Structure 1
Amino acid sequence: MSRIHEALKKAEQERAMSQSPGAIETAPAVLEAPLETTPFLRSEPTEARFASGGIAESLLARSRQTAWNPDLKSMLFFSGEEHGSGMEEFRTLRTRLYQIREKQPLLSKLLVTSPLPKEGKSFTAANLAQVIVRQHGKRALLIDADLRCPQLHVLVGAEPGPGLSEYLASESDEFSILQRGPMENLFLIAAGHRSQNPAELLANGRMKFLLERLQPIFDWIIIDSPPAALVSDAGLLARYADGVLLVVRSNTTPADAARKARQEFADHNLVGVVLNGITPELSPYSQYYYSVYSEDGKAKG
């Protein structure tokens, strides 16, 4: 039985327990990012990813410096603390992703999605990007590709636009949509204004071009997408990503929705599952899971 299957099975078991009399309701979150069995290959040094030289430096230099006002309850690494609630668990997720990258050296564009809304995808994406740039010399880019219900600019307290929707509509270039805030090496492309035709914008070819242009500059590009079960956007974005991280929430995500999402991304390198809202001490699979939760104990995103 694959560890991804175990994660989805665990979500179904926890949901059933929550519906039984006397069930204990808690909201830590757990993650599971399995190593794949692809041939072992060493990744190129990170510096090689930034080999675009003058273009890269010009783009970064012309990015907009904005005054972010992050939600410190959700953005765990902006507080300046080293061992706050949930921080070590995101470090564990970071480590697992680098282990996967050792076997998949081209893994750098990671799509973070969920079957349904309110399962923690934006919270996971934002904190994963933060923990990556806590490493010396690592650059990360957060892209809010949820053009229907954007959240990343709210979480980090950044300007909502111009952003991705303006770029996809050919109203802005990459220089004007790239933001940087107070955290060194962390960059953001917000969603921008809400579009009437987000699926058409995502499929028009400019998203693919943007990612190809930005990939050499960043160690990781973390893409927050709309929920997979509601609209086609996540499937479109998965074509441009190197891997998919699926976020589900215990006691909330229907097992059928989780399984359908897993099937949808089977051909798009589903590298792991983040399971929110589970009680670790009740888990028979506790050796596979690590809690990831916000300061107030609620799943985010």
Structure 2
Amino acid sequence: MFDLSGKSVYVAGHRGMVGAALVRRLKGEASRILISDRCTDLREQAAVRGWFAEHRPDVVVVAAAKVGGILANDSYPAEFLYDNLMIEANLVEAAHRYGTEKLLFLGSSCIYPKMAPQPMREEALLTGPLEPTNEWYAIAKIAGIKLCQAYRRQYGRDFISAMPTNLYGPGDNYDLEKSHVLPALIRKAHEAKKAGADSITIWGSGTPLREFLHVDDLADACVFLLKTYSGEEHVNVGSGKEIAIGDLADMVAQVIGFNGMVKRDPTKPDGTPRKLMDSGRLQAMGWRPSIPLEDGIARAYRDFLAGDVRGA
């Protein structure tokens, strides 16, 4: 059991949805939370080492990353690969150099092969080709996992990795051109309700299955792993439940109070038929999510109305 009380914890990426959730969750652990200001460019080794030399955190959570959707990945492949490699390499090396006791690296479910068996187990890593639309980001995240494993093997460092599923919650991005499916549905249903529209339209048949996890549940899982897990293998973090996109759209409409029709546009692509992570390893350790999807959507909508969003 790793005791977080009294420890200084550096949350890299605290302005993002995940980092902010971690800061909220860590306030209940009697930890001293450290954050770096905007002038500390995590892609620059000297800046990162200088910050670590001054603050010497006991614990580091790597939630900082350059992120984006399919269009951004396709348009800026060099930035997605280089920036993310530099961020994680600088943080992991500095954590080693300045004696960090524990580090948690956060990846993404896109690390798994495009045709990985469903639900995707941790062992599926590097067993097949990646999804081409996000391979640059995925390769960087895979490198981050391997960095943690390498520093554990060579230097005995207690560096671990976790791979979250699709996330949503406070601080999410509601830009319809850049957001993921759940915040996009919330915004569409909200605007249709305000306008008195009689329908909204979703892409595809509505049959693809997806898994969602509230970001506050992820933050709780991260704290759980910091306290209880010390192993080389990365750990999947998901809800273990999946829902068809059409059913998700109906649920969002009901939560928001939009009473019109939810139409499907079969001329638009469906994407991968199913994408579910196997979180059995984490569940066997004793952790499970606590926020049901419908309740989480209601929370997310309240955040949206309160303005705790990006891109709206």
Structure 1-normalised TM-score? 0.33
Larger Rg: 2
- Tell me which of the two structures has the higher relative contact order, counting C-alpha pairs closer than 8 angstroms and 6 or more residues apart: 1
Give 1 or 2: higher helix fraction. Answer: 2
